[in-house]
Amino acid sequence: MRLALTEARAALATDDVPVGAVVLSPAGDVIGRGRNVREVEHDPTGHAEVVALREAAQALDSWRLTGCTLVVTLEPCTMCAGAAVLARVERIVFGAFDAKGGAVGSLWDVVRDRRLNHRPEVVSGVAAGESAALLEEFFAHHRPI
């Protein structure tokens, strides 16, 4: 999670929402890193998870990320949760819950839908306070009350 938090902080340099992600190989090696790049790349799919999953797939030379773990600072949205399922990641580890858009238990639970052919294990709340504080500080400056 420390590496994902480092990626999240790096997103601040491009005025993107500070969300970071890493993908770990089955052996525990980092094979993908990502941070939100929607603003800098003008890409609606530029979420940290998608960036990290793409890099991991390139590293493995396969779209199947069987046995891999996706670690992300914020609960994945529907797009990112779906991408993790389609990539066949074994586990999703996330920090802060996202009550407004989370799709791994908060608002929806895409990854545990029994109708899907793959359901990753979920570990939530890892470094949740630090992840949430980073987001709260960002939004305090971008959406003042």
Task: Find out whether 42 is annotated in a ligand binding site.
Answer: no
Catalytic residue among 7, 41, 49, 137: 49
Q: Which residues contact 24 (CB under 8 A, 6 or more apart)?
A: 30, 31, 68, 69, 71
Is the separation of the CB atoms in 63 and 41 below 8 Å? no
CA geometry: angle at 51 spanning 26 and 54, to 5°?
Answer: 55
90 catalytically annotated: no
CA distance 69 to 23: 6
Task: Find out whether 68 is annotated in a ligand binding site.
Answer: no
Task: Find out whether 77 is annotated in a ligand binding site.
Answer: yes
Is the separation of the CB atoms in 135 and 74 below 8 Å? yes
Residue type present at position 53: L
* Catalytic positions: 49
Residue numbers in the known binding site for Zn(2+) are: 47, 77, 80
Residue numbers in the known binding site are: 47, 77, 80
